[in-house]
Every structure is written in C-alpha cells, then in structure tokens.
Amino acid sequence: MSRRSKVVAIGGALLIAASSISGVFASSHREAPLIAGDPNADNTDLYTFVSPDDPTKLTIIANYIPLQQPAGGPNFHPFDDSVRYRIHIDNNGDAKDDVSYTFRFKTQQKSGKGGVSSFLYNNGPMTTVNDADWLVPQTFSVQRSKAGKTTTLGASMRTVPANVGPRSTPDYASLAETGIHGLSNGGQVYAGPRDDAFFVDLGSIFDLAGLRPLNPFHLLPLGAEDGVDGVAGYNTGSIVLQIPISEVRKSAGQPVVGVWASAERQKIRRAMKNGQYAWSGPWTQVSRLGNPLINEVVIPRHLKDYWNTQPPAKDAQFIEYYEAPEVSALENYLYGAPGGPTGHPGGVLDEIDQTGRTDLSLILLKGVPGVNALSSKPVPADMLRVNTAIVPNANGASYHPVLGLPASTPPSRLGVLDGDLAGFPNGRRLIDDVTDIELRAFAQGYGVPLNTLFGLPNKTPNNTLGDGVDTNADMPFLGTFPYIGLPHSGYEAVPPLRTGVL
C-alpha cells in the first residue's frame, strides 16, 4: 500500500471514530448515551476557584441540565426532586471524599389565583423567590458530611425561578439576588437557572472534529473564519456553593483539594397510574464530572456510560486512554505537517506523539507537582485539583513569580499555560478557555511558561491551536457571588442566538 493510501485509510478510520463520539468538546453536555436521555441528572460543567473577593472561601459551581432553551415553558427546567446532587472533596490524595455536600430539591404545585387551575408557570410578576405568584416554587436543602457526621447547613431555601420575560420577571437581577442564602457554616449558596458559561464551537468540532480557524489546512476546501459559540443563548441549572477553605482542606500545610460533582438516582423506577414516577431502592451514581472534556474526548464511546458510574478512585483503569489519546491522532491527521507519517499537503502542526503521553495523565489524573498535586503518590483520579494557598488578586489571577509580572496583571484565559496559576488546570474559573487549553495540551503545545517552569513540550505552531471562541460573550460574569452570568429571558430568546437572523 502506498504512503498516500495508508494516510487516507488511517484518516478515514479516525474520521469515522470522531463522528461516533457523543459530545466531542462539549464539556459534559449529553456526553454519554444513557445520560443524554436523563438531562435532569446530567452534570454539564464544574468550576472550582478561590474566591477573588474573599480568598478565605472556596467557590464551587456545579451545573446540571444541559442546553436549556430559555423559552421552554410552561415547565422550564427545574432541578429534579428525585435526583441527589452532590459535591465531593478529597483533601489527602486517596480520591475518596473527605467532605461532601448533598443537595435535595422539593417542588410544590400550586393553583392559580382564587384556587383556579392554571397552565402558567406564574400568574403575576415575580419579584422575590418567595413571591406567591410563582405557581411551582421549589425549595432545597444542603447537608455536609464530614468525618462520619452529617450536618444540615440549610433547609427549606428557595431556588430561583426561570427568567420568563418582562411581564413575569421585570427585574430579574434583583429577583435572583433574593435567591442567595446564607449557610450555618458561614458560607452561602445559590440554586437556579444561569447562563451556560461554557464557550466552544460545537458546530465545527462536531463536523468531524474540525476547527474553523484552521479550515484552509483541512483536507476539505473550506475557508478560514471565526469560531461560533454553540452554547450561546442557552441556560443551565447552577448550584453555586461558597464555603470556608478551612472546612475542606486538610491543613494549611496541605492546601490542595480535589473536587468532583455527581448525580445519583435510586435504582428502581415505577410508573404510577396518576402519571407520576415512584423511585425506590439504593442510590446509584449516574453522572459525574471533574475535569472538563474527559468523558467527551478521552473515554471511548463504549465505556462512557460505565465511566459515569465509577468513583474517581478507580480511574486508573482508564489511564491508557489518557496516554494514547484519540484527539492527538485526529489533530495529526487533520492538521499534521507534510513531512510527518500522518501529515498531508497543506498541514501545519508539528507531529504530535500519540502514545506514551504521561504528561496528560500527570496533569489530568495526578496534578502538577508544586502546583496542585494532592500528595507525592496520588491515586490517579478525575478531579479538579485546586491549591487553596494560591491566592488570586482582585481580578482572580496569580502569576508564577518567575515570570516577574505585576501583581495586578489580569487573569489569562489560558490559565497555567500562560503562567496564571489561579486558572485551569489548577481548579477552573469561569473565564478559563478549557477547550483551547486542552487542545494545546493534546497537541503538546504547552507554551513558554510551562516549558520553562516544568519542562513540558512546546511544539510550534501547536501552541496556537484554538477553536476561535475565546470568551463567553453572551452574558457577562459577575464580580461577586454567585459570579456566573444571569440566565437568558425566554421572552427575548431567538434561537439560534447568533446575529439576529433566523
């Protein structure tokens, strides 16, 4: 077989594989076959960072229920009363939770005014979470489990209703403020719809894993163009928890913690004659999330549902997929330089190692020594590891001192790749461009800071890879709790939310 025939054959196999991946680079939106059919229990994104306006607190944002159409009334997208939503924290490196927080929800169905039944979500303007005009109010509780003891930190707290429109929610920002609740441990919590903070060009990457900015170097005759945020205009269900760092870290001398989120259901579901479902039996994990994009682009399709059921402590069974990643093979095929074994005319990337990628298992499964490693011999596990001793400035950044940057330097969307140690993969902030960061990591284009500080490879131009979507431009982030942007209004939503053209 000729070299060209071999390349075409390899490429065809890779493209077929790419087209079978559910949720490629979509963070955790519909990433596995079974959870795609159970959106109420689907983790979409997890963010963990030292709070820039109060560095004694750790903020954790666990998002669920992906790709919510803002105009999806009359039911909209509440949290599920039959799901147990959980946040887990490991502080000693064994990948088992030393502290955990459990959230349970309860929804009430009310009649309209005068006891008359209504098809509506509300029968008048809603100005606070306690407004009587909200016909399906939802309450929730938060319990902390630590050292074998379970403590209720808050109960009967109201979630925030959907942003229905100007008649129903005339001042949504003020309404949402009333959904911030204090907790007995000195923390605070918020639960309700928010803008989906993730940003990524889903349309191009789902189209055989291509990137619009690199279209001229693809085998297909497509012109270069900016990326398009495929998540713009959608909402998600956010649980935002802010807790004292002293409550979760092992000690001041061991400041790193590992965080992951999960969703659990009881094993038995029965359809009732009244049209409802009854759940019973033991609880079982149906979804989980630590680092972004793991179940989407690292774990092969046939193992995605199984991965969702496994605890992080058993992630060593998946290490082969980190160290021989399919994404790196795809990048080689689509954009590899002509001289490489998988390259093609017009390719631009320096050849990427497709095996022996211990750099990826180190960063994504173990933590970087001196930055966010939990121990000298950590259990390989998918967790967001955050060093709580790395205190961000007021803007949320913390640059490595070797770089000699001013203390007031703004945060970089590339996080640690750009020397900003307060960003991904040391935790994850809302601004962190995790798609570009991981694209470059898979392509061994780690950039000058990581090459200088930790000896990681810096192949060129692999260190410029990106999907062309660098920010979440549709709803601004907030400078204070709960940080994540307000949700889109159903009244104003015009899908697709691009340039106003249907």
Q: What is the pLDDT of residue 207?
A: 74
**Residue 359: burial class (beta carbons within 10 Å; 0-12, 13-18, 19+):** buried
Burial 167-202 (b: 16+ CB within 10 A, else e): ebbeebeebbeebbbebeeebbbbbbbbbbbbbbbb
Q: What is the pLDDT of residue 74?
A: 92
Q: How far is CA 56 from the centre of its chain?
A: 23
CA distance 358 to 426: 18
Q: What is the pLDDT of residue 27?
A: 54
* pLDDT at 2 exceeding the cut of 70: no
The three-state secondary structure class of 108 is: coil
* pLDDT at 9 exceeding the cut of 50: no
pLDDT in tens, 359-387: 999 999 999 988 999 988 889 999 999 99
CA distance 148 to 263: 21
CA distance 438 to 466: 9
* pLDDT at 21 exceeding the cut of 50: no
* pLDDT at 41 exceeding the cut of 80: yes
Q: Which of 90-104, 241-255, 292-306, 378-392 has the lowest mean pLDDT?
A: 292-306
Q: What is the pLDDT of residue 82?
A: 96
CA distance 386 to 344: 40
What kind and span of H or E run contains 3? helix 3-20
Query: Helix, strand, coil: what percent of the chain each, to 5?
Result: 25, 25, 50
CA distance 365 to 380: 5
pTM of the model: 0.91
CA distance 138 to 160: 8
Q: Is cis: bond before 496, omega within 30 of 0?
A: yes
The three-state secondary structure class of 411 is: coil
The three-state secondary structure class of 348 is: coil
pLDDT in tens, 421-457: 999 999 999 999 999 999 999 999 999 988 888 889 9
Q: What is the pLDDT of residue 5?
A: 38
Question: Do residues 141 and 157 touch, judged by C-beta distance below 8 A?
Answer: yes
CA distance 190 to 174: 14
Q: Place 18 in a pLDDT band, splitting at 50, 70 and 90.
A: very low
* pLDDT at 279 exceeding the cut of 60: yes
CA distance 351 to 342: 8
Total residue length of the chain: 502
Mean pLDDT calculated for residue range 117-133 = 94
Q: What is the pLDDT of residue 36?
A: 77
Q: What is the pLDDT of residue 454?
A: 85
Q: Place 499 in a pLDDT band, splitting at 50, 70 and 90.
A: very low
Q: Place 497 in a pLDDT band, splitting at 50, 70 and 90.
A: very low
Q: Which of 40-54, 188-202, 333-347, 444-458 has the lowest mean pLDDT?
A: 333-347
CA distance 243 to 313: 24
* CA–CA–CA angle 41, 43, 48 (5° rounding): 140
CA distance 256 to 95: 12
Least Cα distance to 400 among 390, 389, 388, 414 occurs for: 390
Strand partners, 43: 64
Question: Do residues 60 and 51 touch, judged by C-beta distance below 8 A?
Answer: no
* pLDDT at 225 exceeding the cut of 90: no
* pLDDT at 6 exceeding the cut of 50: no
Mean pLDDT calculated for residue range 142-153 = 97
Dihedral angle at the C-alpha atoms of 492, 495, 496, 497, nearest 10 degrees? 10
pLDDT in tens, 326-359: 989 888 888 887 666 655 555 788 999 999 999 9
Q: Place 487 in a pLDDT band, splitting at 50, 70 and 90.
A: very high
* pLDDT at 325 exceeding the cut of 60: yes
Q: Place 268 in a pLDDT band, splitting at 50, 70 and 90.
A: confident
Q: What is the pLDDT of residue 223?
A: 73
Q: Place 470 in a pLDDT band, splitting at 50, 70 and 90.
A: very high
Percent of the chain with pLDDT over 70: 88
pLDDT in tens, 412-431: 999 999 999 999 999 999 99
Q: What is the pLDDT of residue 496?
A: 52
